[in-house]
Structure 1
Amino acid sequence: MSRFDGYFLRQLLVLFGFFTLVLVGVFWITRSVSLFDRVISGGQSAMVFLEFTALTLPTLIRTVMPMAVFAAAVYATNRLSRESEMTVMLATGSSPWRLARPVLMFGLSAGLMMAVISIFLRPASVDQLEQRQDEVAGDVTAQLLNEGEFLHPADSVIVYIGRIDLDGTLHEVFVSDQRDAVNPVSYSSTTAYLVNQASGLHLVMLDGIALRYDQAGNTLSSTLFEDASYDISELTKESGMGHRSLEAIPTMELIWDREAVSVQDDHSIGHLVDELHQRFSWVAICMAVALVGYSALMLGSFSRFGLWPQILGAFTILVLLEGVRGFVSPVVIGNPQLWILLYLPAMLGVVLSGLFLTLAGRPLFRRSTAGQRDAIPST
Structure 2
Amino acid sequence: MSRYDRYVLSQYLVLFGFFSLILVAVFWINRAVVLFDRLIGDGQSAMVFLEFTALTLPNLIRMVLPMAAFAASVYVTNRLNSESELTVMQATGSSPWQLARPALAFGLITALMMSILTHVLMPASTKQLAIREAEIARNVTARLLTEGSFLHPANGVTFYIRQIDPDGRLNGVFLSDRRDPEQRVTYTGAEAYLVREGDRANLIMVDGMAQRLDTATETLSTTVFADFSFDISSLIKKNDNRTRSIRAIPTLELMRTPGDITENDGYTPGQIAEELHLRFARALICVAVTLIGFSTLMLGGFSRFGVWRQALLAFVLLIFLEMLRGVVSDPVLENANRWPLIYLPTVVGLMVAVLFLRLASRPRLRRIKPNPAPPAEVAP
Per the TM alignment, residue 279 of structure 1 is displaced from its structure 2 partner at its CA by: 1.2
| 1:140-159 → structure 2 map (5 Å cutoff) | 140-154=140-154, 158-159=158-159
Q: Which amino acid aligns with 2:128?
A: Q
RMSD: 2.9
Instruction: Report the CA distance between 1:319 and its aligned residue.
Output: 0.7
Aligned with 1:93: secondary structure?
A: coil
User: What is aligned with 2:55?
Assistant: 55
Measure, in 1, the Cα distance between the counterparts of 2:58 and 2:85: 36
C-alpha spacing 1:69/1:182, structure 2 compared with 1 (3 Å): closer
Which moved further from structure 2: 289-298 or 193-202?
Answer: 193-202
Offset of 1:158 from its aligned partner? Answer: 4.4
Post-superposition shift, 1:252? 1.6
Displacement of 1:157 after TM fit? 5.1
What secondary structure does 2:173 align onto?
strand
Match of 2:276 in 1: 276
Question: Residue 205 of structure 1: SS of its match in structure 2?
Answer: strand
Residue aligning to 2:375: none
* Residue 163 of structure 1: how far off its partner (Å): 3.5
Partner Cα separation in structure 1 for residue 182 and residue 288 of structure 2: 65
1:376 matched to which residue of 2? none
Asked if structure 2 preserves the Cα contact closer than 8 Å seen for 1:131 and 1:241, the reply is no
Deviation, structure 1 residue 182? 10
Maintained 8 Å contact 2:211/2:220? no
Which residue of structure 1 lines up, in the alignment, with residue 223 of structure 2?
A: 222
| 2:243 counterpart residue number | 243
Contact 1:134-1:241 at 8 Å conserved across structures? no
Q: 2: distance between equivalents of 1:184 and 1:113? A: 56
Mapping for residues 298-317 of structure 1, pairs under 5 Å? 298-317=298-317
For the 8 Å contact 1:187–1:210, the answer to whether it is kept is yes
Change (3 A) 1:311 1:158: closer
Q: Percent identity?
A: 54
Tell me the secondary structure at the aligned position of residue 285 of structure 1.
helix
| 3-state SS in 1 of match to 2:328 | helix
TM-score by length of 2: 0.87
Deviation per CA, 1:232-251, whole angstroms, max 9, x where unpaired?
Answer: 45644444231122222222
Aligned residue type for 2:54 = A
User: Does the alignment pair 1:114 with 2:114?
Assistant: yes
CA gap of 1:155–1:68, structure 2 versus 1, over 3 A, is: closer
Task: Report the equivalent of 1:12.
Answer: 12
Letter of the structure 1 residue corresponding to residue 41 of structure 2: S
Task: Identify if the C-alpha distance between structure 1 residues 26 and 211 changes in structure 2 by more than 3 Å, giving closer, same or farther.
Answer: closer
Cα distance, 1:293–1:172 mapped onto 2, change above 3 Å: same
Contact 1:42/1:142 (8 A) holds in 2:
yes
Q: CA deviation at 1:316?
A: 0.9
1:189 aligns with 2:189: yes
> Which is further off, 289-298 or 255-264?
255-264
Paired residue type of 1:308: W
**In the TM superposition, what whole-angstrom CA distance separates every residue of 1:214-258 from its partner, at most 9, and x where no partner exists?**
9xxx99683531x45545456444442311222222222211111
C-alpha separation between the residues in 2 aligned to 1:178 and 1:21? Answer: 48
Aligned length: 367
The structural deviation recorded for 1:155 is 6.2
> Do 1:140 and 1:235's aligned partners in 2 also have CA atoms closer than 8 Å?
no
Indicate conservation of the 8 Å contact 1:211/1:222, yes or no.
yes
Residues 8-157 of structure 1 aligned to structure 2 (within 5 Å):
8-154=8-154
In 2, the alpha carbon distance for the partners of 1:303 and 1:184 equals 76
For the residues of structure 1 that align with 2:11 and 2:75, how far apart are their CA atoms? 9
**Residue 183 to residue 67, structure 1, CA distance change in 2 (3 Å):** closer
Q: Does the 8 Å CA contact 2:206/2:228 hold for their aligned counterparts?
A: yes
Alpha-carbon distance change, 221 to 280 in structure 1, aligned in 2, over 3 angstroms? same
